[in-house]
Chain A
């Protein structure tokens, strides 16, 4: 089925919103049940797209970005499969093949996510430059540009699918080399180390390194949740603070009593005796 100009523009706007939300994760425009329905709404195929969204939502229930790990791209999967469903013109009958396409699309979307997040790294350096000038306006501007880039990340593939049609997209997906996607996800697992290295360089002192070691070793116990680790860390900090205070007052008292300041209580008693 063919879309008119207004419908095409609306589809691209919905794709843009979903792309933004793919990174923001706030309004949830990128979740299949919302995104597919919106595509259905603007193309006049509400019910089939709504049902596609429901089915995809079931698959994507547990997809989440945790830490720095990225889940399959729900935004691209929802938008692209809904567009393909609409273009295919089979209505409800086309839902199952649209779903079959959605999964490889979601994985292919990871590649775009990695590219976007790498470009964002460069944008943040422009923010650094703006910060050096003390310019709030420019920091705001670069942040908004970064958000828009995420929108474009989905809007461009959506426009491409509209332009070339559903069939060739299938062929294209089949040719994505697995060595590249696999390798990039290996790299993605490691790059977070750079961020941690920067923070450590900032707050580390000789005094606090042991706590780093304790945290690292305790984290190997998989049963400990991050919340549990947080509680241990907080307790250690509180214990350290109170002990360092007691140590201070203790040595003062020691100087007053014995003059030796050895901190050896038995020794002090013998001296006084």
Chain B
């Protein structure tokens, strides 16, 4: 094994890095970034696997569900490159291990990428650029475009390399059983994260009003007796103190469900989808069906 070890060179890794720019290109409702992920891995897979069977298996493995922040995919790509490299060289790394690593890392990393890039760096850069542009200064878009891409490209390259080195360390220690640990740990982390993502990212909201209760005097802000700016101040103070904005307490069906446990409906939909998948109902049918259900429920005012 050590004699003719296939290794990914820096050139290969640069090639993968460039392709990772297009990871969201075939973003779809079924497996999200999977097409882009496979596209990104192809230069490495081409080098590591030569038979048709190996190549087909590798492509299939990398067309599984994947979704994270597009830039934070880079460290995951790095780790996966290292795992694939060792797998190609005979290490016992199975599909579940690779998928587990991917799923386990994608949620938390998306949790870093969204606030950092979309809600911090981009608004700051955007505000600077916009204020220049509004005054007719062409530097606005230039600063925005070059500044952003410099930050992005440096970030994705260095985190991919970081992931690659970390991934190599994981699989170097073969005798210590570290690999089996990583496999099991990854699937535990993966399931944990899936549980939380379903709660956070499957959005279901029932609108029907279950009850409208008239509140006692003093439990709500009495708008009729408030006047002028002083009144606004009083109202804000009262609201902060927990007084209701209206004289009625409106409870929706969603409020009732949330009192049970928030996200229960999303979990229910996921479980039904799992069952349908096992019954052989195609994901596309399920997706179209959910859109139809969404429109119908919206029209009848349930959601």
Instruction: Spell out A's residues near B (CB within 8 Å).
Output: 20, 23-28, 31, 33-34, 37, 46-47, 50-51, 53-55, 57-58, 60-62, 64-69, 114, 117-118, 120-125, 127-128, 130-134, 136, 139-140, 142-144, 146-147, 150, 179-180, 182-205, 208-209, 211-220, 225-227, 229-234, 236-238, 240-241
Contacts and interface: CB of A to CB of B under 8 A. Distances in A.
Contacts of A227: 108, 111-112
Interface stretch (B2-10, B85-93, B199-207): B199-207
Chain B interface, >50% SS class: helix
A227 B72 CA distance: 13
Contacts of A27: 21, 145, 149
Select the residue from B30, B34, B53, B148 with max chain A CB neighbours within 10 A: B30
Contacts of A200: 191, 194, 270, 274
Contacts of A132: 56, 60
Nearest to B156: A26
Given A54-B135, A118-B28, A219-B196, 14 more contacts: A24-B25, A28-B144, A33-B133, A57-B127, A57-B129, A67-B200, A120-B26, A133-B52, A185-B294, A189-B202, A194-B286, A200-B191, A203-B190, A211-B195
B144 A33 contact: yes
B34 to A, nearest CB: 6
Given A134-B52, A220-B263, A124 B198 contact: no
A238 B188 CA distance: 9
Interface residues of B, number: 119
A134 B103 contact: no
Nearest to B49: A134
A120 B27 CA distance: 7
Contacts of A231: 108
A191 B29 contact: yes
A180 B103 CA distance: 33
Contacts of B133: 33, 37, 50-51, 53-54, 57
Contacts of A53: 130, 133, 140-141
Interface stretch (B167-175, B179-187, B218-226, B230-238): B179-187
B209 interface: no
Contact of B53 (A55, A121, A134): A134
Contacts of B148: 28
Contacts of B64: 198-199, 202
Contacts of A33: 126, 129-130, 133, 140-141, 144
B17 to A, nearest CB: 12
A118 B288 contact: yes
Nearest to A189: B203
Nearest to B144: A33
29 contacts: A20-B25, A24-B22, A24-B23, A28-B149, A50-B136, A54-B140, A66-B114, A69-B203, A120-B29, A121-B287, A124-B28, A124-B63, A134-B54, A139-B42, A180-B295, A187-B290, A190-B290, A190-B294, A191-B287, A196-B194, A196-B197, A208-B190, A220-B261, A220-B263, A227-B112, A229-B196, A230-B108, A234-B104, A236-B188
